[in-house]
Amino acid sequence: MVKTNKRRASLQEQPNKSAAATVACAGCHPLLASPPEGKHELSGEGEDRVEQEPERAPGIDCCAVCANDCATEVLCAGCATVIYCSEEHREEDGPNHSHVCETLRLMRAAEALPALNGGGGGGGGGAAADSKAEPQHESVLEQPPVYRGTPDGFRVPSSAGAGAGAAAAAAAGAGEAAEGAAAAAAAAAAPQEGWAAVIPPKFRAVLGGSAAGEAVEEGGAAAAAAAEGAEDKAEHPRKKARKSAVDGAAGSLKGAAAVAAAKPDSADAQLLLAAQLADRTAELTYVYTAAQALLAAGPAAKVAVAASRSGRALQLVVLGAAEDAELSDLAAWQVVAAALDTDVRVVFVGPQVPERLAGMGAQYGRVAMRFVQATYDEMASGKIAGVDPSSLDSAATVFLAFNPGFTCPDYDWGPTLDAIAARSGSGRAAGAVLVVATNTRVEALMDCELLLERGWRPAGGAEPNPYTSLQARQSGTLANDLYRKNAWLVSYQHVGEQGDEEDEQEREGGRGGRRRRRRALRVGGGGGGPRGAAGRVARALLDTLKKPFKGLMRRR
């Protein structure tokens, strides 16, 4: 009998905190549906083998269940992506794999479309490329006097939706009846929020349009045919060899492109449109996530309001900035200034800031930028030539961290967090504000646990991000593990480490320290939790659940 990995099974039983975590709606293309988290389950044998050989990727280069090498590979018949060593293991993994099979199939089909592989077409790619003009040294780029959105039609988000959300949050302290009534009223009055409110009209057919539903229903067979001819983009050589053996329909790509061009409502055309939207939101998620955090109720919004009222520029410090993430579309950061109607200064800091931008400054409309190739603690300590740490001092500062991996052993965030805490304690930036976006809720909870120990207090539990990337990604470590960039959002404010004070109060018989600690734990976990012996058991279970994810995060 195959021993089941109960740790992963237990994680699957945890419900999403909010129905908003699922972006899928009536008429949405299935490629844009939010993938469920933690749907890969190894056998006990597989778990042991992966722990001994961490470089194994179950379902990608070995069996998805037992992590053994496959003498004869058995592919999933639906997505032709996940491999097994036997039919028995394929059937055993069926309940888990079924949650992601359709998404994986559509991802392969989208990779086959010429417009996504430099084959032309696609509509809108040119406008997006135009918005990414490279800044010259200390450049001031000409922008329209009133910024209304990106050149390819993504609009500036309205603060009305965030205001409705804030009103609903304010009712959380009321009784159950009043809370339910207030939430219902807020939901009825709230306008569209998230991507549906800002996307160009051409994408409405795949993100809620009625025409999309019909095209998607009739297009299953066509999408499957396109998937069979998909070009493999994975780096693993065995995966490339496997797919080259099963892909035999590459010659049909030109015909599929002709059909998509002739029939805009065809399944191929709808898939192409959905894939283009997913790819574009993968670039814009950083900008719109920042705007969301600054518009919604919370400490970041308070800093933004204070800056606007005082006439000062709002300063955003983007930690760990990288070229293929936060720096992928610099001009789009004007969305933040336009949404807040205030001047914004953005400091992109991180070891992965490219050489061509390092040390430069740029101006896009009301957004001034500075690029620093260093860690924040190095920059704040004055170790970087040409960067005056005092020029970064501003009470109106919000720190942004996108998928930072605070608990990942491959990164050392300690010095940076210490440097930010030092600024908070110096009186120059008391109560520093940090916004953290993570790919999964488990990562958000792990980051929260670490930050609590360092004196950061979350404004609430991990919330689904309405501006998460719509592009589903396969982790590369576990075949059934799909995720989206910036799916969860938490805002923190630094309040200092109070452990010594609480211990002193407890020794003196006071209960203030114990109350604060319990309150912090409830907030950090996104809700109330068990206490006493039950609480210790729950925390031990959480530690057990986190173990397999640490390896996953390290190689993601």
**420 phi/psi in degrees, rounded to 5:** -65, -40
Residue 98: inside a domain, yes or no? yes
Instruction: Assign 242 a pLDDT band (cuts: 50, 70, 90).
Output: very low
Helix axis angle, 441-453 to 532-554, nearest 10°: 110
Residue where a domain terminates, one of 110, 132, 159: 110
pLDDT at 134 over 80: no
Average pLDDT over residues 431-447: 93
Tens-place pLDDT, residues 43-102: 999 999 999 999 999 999 999 999 999 989 999 999 999 999 999 999 999 999 999 999
Total domains in the fold of the chain:
2
Range of weakest confidence among 35-39, 76-80, 176-180, 323-327: 176-180
Residue 161: inside a domain, yes or no? no
DSSP 58: B
Residue 543: inside a domain, yes or no? no
- Torsion angle defined by CA atoms of residues 403, 496, 310 and 335, in that order, rounded to the nearest 10 degrees: 10
Q: Whole-number mean pLDDT of the chain?
A: 74
CA distance 200 to 219: 23
pLDDT at 176 over 70: no
Query: Whole domain around residue 400: which residue ranges?
Result: 296-494
Residue 204: inside a domain, yes or no? no
pTM of the entire structure?
Answer: 0.74
In percent, the amount of the chain with pLDDT more than 70 equals 60
Residue where a domain terminates, one of 476, 494, 512: 494
In percent, the amount of the chain with pLDDT more than 90 equals 47
**Of 483, 397, 485, nearest to 437 (Cα)?**
485
> Which pLDDT belongs to residue 145?
66
Bridge partner list, 348: 318, 371
Tens-place pLDDT, residues 210-240: 433 333 334 444 444 444 444 344 344 444 4
Tens-place pLDDT, residues 451-508: 999 999 999 889 999 999 999 999 888 999 999 999 999 999 998 765 444 444 444 4
Residue 1: inside a domain, yes or no? no
One DSSP character per residue, 302-338 reads HHHHHHHHHTPPEEEEEET--TTTTTS-SGGGHHHHH
In this structure, what CATH number is given to the domain that contains residue 419? 3.40.50
Residue where a domain terminates, one of 91, 110, 129: 110
> Which pLDDT belongs to residue 223?
42
Residue 312: inside a domain, yes or no? yes
